[in-house]
Structure formats: C-alpha cells, structure tokens
Amino acid sequence: MALTKRLRITGRVQGVGFRYALQREARSLGLAGWVRNRRDGSVEALLQGSAEAVDKLITWSRRGPPGARVDGVEVQADAGEERRAGFDLRPTE
C-alpha cells in the first residue's frame, strides 16, 4: 500500500532549482506525485510511494539542492489524493 504525504517547504526555495531537484530525487526513488511553487514563496509537494522512499525524500527536502536554504518542512498525511503515476511539475498556485 502506497503512503501519501503532502509537504510545504519554506525558506529560500524558489529560484534555486528546488522543484527540479526534488522531481529528480523523487523519480530516482520511484515516487509518484507532483511539486509546485506557491505564491507565498514556499514549495509544495505531494509524494506517493513506499514509506521508506517517502521518508528518504522528506529527509532530502530538509536540506534541498545547493543554493537553497530550508527553514522548515511541514509534513501532512494526505489520504484524499487519488493514486498518481509519474512525478510532475505543476504550475504555481
């Protein structure tokens, strides 16, 4: 059974390639979901996959790519999202 988590990442996380790096990491871990910038300057992501892979990406997101400064990562369970295939970049919301 796939685990689904929603992340809100704050700090200097826009304009530093955070979304692209997170997408690359997610795909390398076999996760499904999406990532997008938020108008408030944060990055939001939905992760679906094994508990181990989701935990690894959450750990990665606490440091992010070079150039990012992560101030916080809020993690929420998300049972309402339907099962996804692939890992997409979504437009800013």
Q: Under a CB-based contact definition with an 8 Å cutoff, are residues 84 and 34 in contact?
A: yes
CATH for 3-81 (3.40.640.10, 3.30.70.100, 3.40.50.300, 3.40.50.920): 3.30.70.100
Would you call 69 a catalytic residue per the annotation? no
Would you call 62 a catalytic residue per the annotation? no
Catalytic pick from 6, 8, 12, 19? 19
Q: What is the pLDDT along the chain (93 residues), one digit of tens a residue?
A: 679 999 999 999 999 999 999 999 999 999 999 999 999 999 999 999 999 999 999 999 999 999 999 999 999 997 666 777 899 999 999
Q: pTM for the full model?
A: 0.93
Q: Under a CB-based contact definition with an 8 Å cutoff, are residues 36 and 8 in contact?
A: no
Catalytic pick from 37, 39, 62, 69? 37
d(CA 52, CA 72): 21
**Can you give the pLDDT at residue 85?**
85
DSSP assignment string, 28-92? HTT-EEEEEE-TTS-EEEEEEE-HHHHHHHHHHHTT-STT-EEEEEEEEE--SSPP--SEEE---
